[in-house]
Amino acid sequence: MWQPCVLLKYGELMLKGRNRGRFENLLIRNARRALSELPHPVRVRRRRGLLLLSAPDHPELQTELVARARQLIGVSVVQPAIRVDRTPEAAVDAALRLARRARPAATAAFAVRARRRHKDFPMTSSQLQAHLGDRIHAALGWPVDLTAPEVEIAVEVDLHEIFVSVERYRGLDGLPVGSSGRALALLSGGYDSPVAAFRLMRRGLACDFVHFTGAPLTGPASAYKAYALARRLARFQGETRLWLVPLGQAQRELALAGAGALQIVAQRRLMLRVADRIARGHGAHALVTGDSLGQVSSQTLSNLGTVERAAELPVLRPLLAWGKEEIMAEAGRLGTAEISRLPDEDCCSLLLPRSVATRTTPAQLDGFERRLDLDDTVEALLAKAQCLPVCAGAGEDADVPSRRAAS
């Protein structure tokens, strides 16, 4: 047997004790989904403390499996490996072939790290390690260096097979998406909100999205951006929905009612009211925003407090303590920065007051909102909301499907 495969090792999942089975099942489901678009079927199998991916008749898919696995939330280490028979000879043969492949024309200091996940193997880990080390040294003439090897050969004895590998990559870590439930993330076209959603996906939260456009006062650019961002994020979780809500008319009503310096905070409260209703109607248990304390005047402590009173669901703000540079760096790694960078006409840039109140109270906003028929406004916005199914994608090749009516 000589089967290229990929081992997925758990990080935090290992700490889950009796609940681990549930987390593992979710990870397996997410892995199957993430691999389902590949041209050939992929097997996802459970081994003690890890998952095993393989495309039985298509060893050439190994590189692609590695790339996909590195995007899988809940995996801490991604290790391409060769699966061989459960004998020391098979392990030696695989180790030699991998070592030669890793350094075709050179001598390299090497180390063998062996471990047994099942103990009923005729050699102990250290005996196996020594045996492999001797054989490789004899065959290749490479020196052994256990502290800083150039090539590290990992040999893992499992119940039915041995895995041999010379490479390992860091995964995304975190908890499998879905293990913490579902939330609705408020997605603007900026850098922050996609990062906020991603950070919570890494805590196991599946996210749908809502984006407020300035329509009919602005063009469609921000909706295209929101769709591209949602599509980029969908690759971490699969099935995703994006609601588009045209806020322009309601923004104008707020302005005409004399919101003045309260305009931005009043808009945010309106967004939260609408988002809260969509979320509760579609099985989400929290809202997510990209707020970062003090980033702009609408994000002072008192304004954040005033805004969140408008929602019944908890408002999660994973970036609250992040600085802009950290957020931008994460957006770069995530591939959302290149989308956020595109120009658009954010709904909030319309009807901007000359000054923005930095200290507001809920009572102040309640007072202002009594001048309006806010319930009617919320109902009208919900009636105009459109729900788009988002399919996972790389983002740069995102294309927007024709709109569908809200469900």
Binding-site positions for ATP read: 186-187, 211-212, 268, 290, 299
CB of 148 to ligand ATP, least distance (A): 43
CB of 379 to ligand ATP, least distance (A): 19
Tokens 């081992």 correspond to what residue? 7
Selection from 392, 300, 321 nearest residue 71 by Cα: 392
Which is closer to ligand ATP, CB of 99 or CB of 264?
264
Selection from 116, 118, 104, 102 nearest residue 152 by Cα: 102
Q: Taking CB within 5 to 8 Å according to partner kind, which of ligand ATP, Mg ion, none is near residue 187? A: ligand ATP
Can residue 192 be called a binding residue for Mg ion (CB under 5 A)?
yes
| Cα distance between the two ends of the chain | 51
What is the residue-wise DSSP string for 304-333? Answer: HHHHHTT-SS-EE-TTTT--HHHHHHHHHH
Q: How far apart (Å, rounded) are the C-alpha atoms in residues 383 and 296?
A: 31
Residue 394's Cβ-count burial label (10 Å; 0-12, 13-18, 19+) is exposed
The 3 state secondary structure assigned to 42-70 is CEEEEECCEEEEECCCCHHHHHHHHHHHC
Q: How far apart (Å, rounded) are the C-alpha atoms in residues 75 and 23?
A: 11
Q: Who contacts 78 (Cβ-Cβ below 8 Å, separation ≥6)?
A: 6, 7, 8, 9, 66, 69, 70, 168, 169, 170, 171
Tokens read off for 296: 């702009």
Q: For the stretch 262-279, what's the b/e string if a residue is b when 16 or more beta carbons lie within 10 angstroms of its beta carbon?
A: bbbbbbbbbbbbbbbbbb
CB of 310 to Mg ion, least distance (A): 18
Which is closer to Mg ion, CB of 161 or CB of 192?
192
Residue 198's Cβ-count burial label (10 Å; 0-12, 13-18, 19+) is buried
The site for ligand ATP (CB under 6 A) is made up of 186-188, 190-193, 211-212, 271, 289-291, 295-296, 298, 346-348
Q: Taking CB within 5 to 8 Å according to partner kind, which of ligand ATP, Mg ion, none is near residue 88? A: none
Which is closer to Mg ion, CB of 142 or CB of 212?
212
CB of 225 to ligand ATP, least distance (A): 10
CB of 147 to ligand ATP, least distance (A): 45
What is the residue-wise DSSP string for 164-176? Answer: EES--EE---SB-
**Nearest residue by C-beta to Mg ion?**
192
Which is closer to Mg ion, CB of 110 or CB of 198?
198
Can residue 330 be called a binding residue for Mg ion (CB under 5 A)?
no
* H or E element in which residue 96 lies: helix 88-102
Binding-site members are: 186-187, 211-212, 268, 290, 299
Pairing of strands 205-213, 181-186: parallel
Q: How far apart (Å, rounded) are the C-alpha atoms in residues 157 and 201?
A: 33
CB of 287 to ligand ATP, least distance (A): 9
Q: How far apart (Å, rounded) are the C-alpha atoms in residues 355 and 150?
A: 60
Positions in the binding site for Mg ion (CB under 5 A): 192
